[in-house]
Chain A
Amino acid sequence: MDVQAWTYLIVGLTFALYIGIAIWSRAGSTKEFYVAGAGVPPLANGMATAADWMSAASFISMAGLISFMGYDGSIYLMGWTGGYVLLALLLAPYLRKFGKFTVPDFVGDRYYSNAARTVAVICAIFVSFTYVAGQMRGVGVVFSRFLEVPINTGILIGMGIVFFYAVLGGMKGITYTQVAQYCVLIFAYMVPAIFISMYIAGTPIPQLGFGSELSDGSGFLLDKLDGLHSELGFSAYTDGSKPMIDVFFITFALMVGTAGLPHVIVRFFTVPKVRDARISAGWALVFIALLYTTAPAVAAFARYNLIDTVRDKGYTALAEDPKTQWFKTWEGTGLLAWTDKNEDGKIQYLGPKMNGGAAFKGKPSFAEGTGAEGQRLISNELTDNDNELYIDRDIMVLANPEIAGLPPWVIALVAAGGLAAALSTAAGLLLVISTSVAHDLIKKQINPDLNEKTEVLIARISVAFAVCIAGYFGINPPGFVAQVVAFAFGLAASSFFPVIIMGIFYKKMNKEGAIAGMLSGILFTAAYIIYFKFVNPAANNADNWLFGISPEGIGTVGMLINFAVSFIVAKITPAPPEDIQELVDSLRYPKGAGEASAH
Chain B
Amino acid sequence: MEWLTLTIDGREVSVPKGTTVLDACRMNNIPIPTLCHAPELTSAGACRLCVVQIEGMRNLPPSCVTQVAQGMKVETQNPKVRNARKTILELLVANHPLDCMTCQKMGDCSLAEYAYDYGVTGTVYQGEKRCLPIDDGNPFILRDPNKCILCGKCIKACTEIQGKSILDFSFRGFDTQVGPAFNLPYNESDCDFCGSCVSVCPVGALTEKQMAGKGRPWEVSKVQTTCPFCGVGCNFDLNVKDGKVIGVTSNPEVPVNGKALCVKGRFGMDMIYSDNRITTPLIRKNGELVPAEWDEALDLVATKLGEIKKTYGPNSIAALSSAHCTNEENYLMQKFMRAVIGTNNVDHCART
Question: A and B bound?
Answer: no
By a beta-carbon cutoff of 8 Å, the part of chain A in contact with chain B is: none
By a beta-carbon cutoff of 8 Å, the part of chain B in contact with chain A is: none
